[in-house]
Amino acid sequence: MKKRSKLAAGIVTLVSVATLAACSSTTKDTNVITMKGDTITVSDFYNQVKSTSASQQSMLTLVLSRVFEQQYGDKVSDKKVTESYNKTASSYGDSFSSALSQAGLTTDSYKQQIRTTMLVEYAVKEAAKKELTTKNYKTAYENYTPEVTAQVIKLDSQDTANSVLSEVKADGADFAKIAKEKTTESKKKYEYKFDSADTTLPTDVMSAAFKLDKDGISDVVSVVDSSTYKTTYYIVKVTAKEEKKADWKSYKARLKKAIMNEKTSDASFQNKVIAAALEKANVKIKDKAFADILAQYATSSSSSSSANSSSTSSSSK
């Protein structure tokens, strides 16, 4: 299955190998399998599978699902979950059922995965809003690059990219015409406007553009898709650049977006939010087999309140 977002990865991957929740619905001595001279009970099964990586992930998923449902359940509607599910199903077409099965998911378990992801995302976004302080706005301003207009050629192979680069850098070359002809971007889109708070193009492509003067052309920029591991190649020409204004408040809306993007994509920040939710729920692990499933959040718990105590700057949302 394709992951809904980077946040979903490593947080809510539902595993069907060991259905630990089902074990709790029957008594530990209930017979699951009988044979001549022996039986296999729920307790036998639980003890056999509980230390496997699949079971560890399943228990972590179950804990996070329960905790975030309790604290933020009213913030995500069934309609939103269904819309997301249908969008993914539509993108797969007739192969969706097969993709679900290969991922060890059912319709219900995948919808639960979507729901838990949305709940965590909501919590992270709410926590990120508390980072919108004057101090952080000013820091974001220092790292902010205002809008540039650029023509971008997207290509699928290194050899083609090198050939096109030679073509656009030749004397008298019409970059826009070549871009329209050569780019593999859908609808042949090749002209963009963006600032450093934007997410329209890959970060490396935008960074290359910011370094160019007006009418400058970049070298080939290679970008690896983190989900497919496919490499795409870009060539950029900057056609206009906005001068940076002296007052950070001129860019307040864009700086807000930059701060929110930074925080919500920061794994450490996400872990602090999750750690705070776990602490609020007073989660206690009673079976030592699962003692380490929350370890990645335990290291964050001591600093989870730092956002509230580290700065007294005024909040400007």
pLDDT in tens, 46-86: 999 999 998 998 899 999 999 999 999 999 999 999 999 99
The per-residue pLDDT for 317 is 54
Residue 189 pLDDT exceeds 50: yes
pLDDT in tens, 211-229: 999 999 999 999 998 878 8
Tell me the angle at which helices 134-142 and 252-264 cross, rounded to the nearest 10 degrees: 90
Residue 126 pLDDT exceeds 60: yes
Provide the residue ranges of all domains of the chain, joining segments of one domain with +.
52-132+260-309, 145-241
* Residue of 193, 240, 242 whose CA lies nearest to 215: 240
Q: Does domain 145-241 have CATH number 3.10.50.40?
A: yes
Q: What residues form DSSP beta bridges with 238?
A: 150
Pick from 15-24, 249-258, 292-301: least confident: 15-24
Using CA atoms in the order 165, 166, 171, 176, what is the torsion angle rounded to 10 degrees? -30
* pTM score above 0.85: no
